Structure 1
Amino acid sequence: MKWLAALCLLAMPVQAMAACRADQVEFRNTGGVTRFSVEVADDAAERAQGLMYREHMAAASGMLFVYERPQPASFWMRNTFIPLDMIFMDETGTVRHVHANARPKDDTPIHGGDSVLAVLEINGGLARRLGIAEGSVMRSSHLDQAKAAWTCE
């Protein structure tokens, strides 16, 4: 009987499983739904460290930067050794800008917009392959659910 319960859990649609765990985010777009396991950087020290000095990151992983309120956001790649896609979102979780394949160790500022609440960094080139683009929507427990375009269940 345990195997039947496990099979039922595996068969559940992605939207119903772990919809809003603190260590996961989901993106919805015309291609469907994609889930990432995330580390969360939600204070100044964690945001300053980011993904510096790492030499690899699992394909379905990322780092979610969350600010206290929407604000202008710029990133750079100092001491970051892997190419990254940076997905900039507003307070609703709607993607407003995607910067693809940021160059490792580059100090050039990457501006994501003036009203950024969250940024997800994932492996370079992955956003395009998964269809994550402007207008895609992220679901996360780190968003104010009263403002979120795609709420937690």
Structure 2
Amino acid sequence: MQSAMAVPRAAKAALAALALAIAAPAHAQPADGPQPRLPVVQLSAGIHIIHAEVADTESTRRAGLMFRRELPGNEGMLFVFENPDVQCFWMRNTLVPLSIAFIADDGTIVNIDDMAPQTDDGHCAKKPVRYALEMAQGWFAEHGVSAGRKIDGLP
């Protein structure tokens, strides 16, 4: 037989668990693993085709490529923001070295920066941008893509 005090505690615990379940986003990733693959958009940088996962919500942008163990070939992640701003990125919990291109509304690359894995160093756009594209480190240089070039196919 349950005591009178056990029922309210159990009810409180159940309500707290329910509140946490409701508050957690359906696509939240585990704290120690990568988020599931996101929808992909095809972009182009001149003759080069890029298959970029689209991170366009706060939670998908926050998780980004954290905990991924590889970023093969022409795959990347496109970060889409609601409004242009001086966007800044870091590499906490990101295991692979990346290069990031900060891209203006018209698709012009403002600047590109290389980012070392698992660091909190800030990497920022040199002016307000709506997009940022992360690729394996060196991808932009290897493909002759630099600041001033255009990325086509942006959403």
TM-score interval w.r.t. the shorter chain? 0.7 to 0.9
Report SS of the residue matched to 2:51.
strand
Structure 1 match to 2:5: none
Give the match's secondary structure for 1:97.
strand
5 Å matches for 1:4-153?
23-28=41-46, 33-100=47-114, 102-142=115-155
Q: For the Cα contact (< 8 Å) 2:45–2:151, is it kept in 1?
A: yes
Count how many residue pairs are aligned between Structure 1 and Structure 2. Answer: 117
Structure with the largest fraction of strand: 1
TM-score, normalised with respect to structure 1: 0.73
Greater helix share, structure number:
2
* CA distance in 2: counterparts of 1:93 and 1:129, whole angstroms: 20
CA shift at 1:141, angstroms?
A: 4.2
Alignment gaps of 5+ in structure 1: 1-21, 143-153
Q: Distance in 2 between matches of 1:92 and 1:77?
A: 27
Stretches of structure 2 that go unaligned for 5 or more consecutive residues are 1-39
**The residue matched to 2:128 in structure 1 has which SS?**
strand
Query: RMSD across aligned C-alpha pairs, in angstroms?
Result: 1.4
- Give the distance between the partners of 1:90 and 1:71, measured in 2 at CA: 10
Identity in percent: 31
Runs of 4+ in 1 over 2 A off after TM superposition: none
Read off the aligned partner of 1:39 and give its amino acid letter: E
Secondary structure (helix, strand or coil) at the match of 1:26 reads: strand
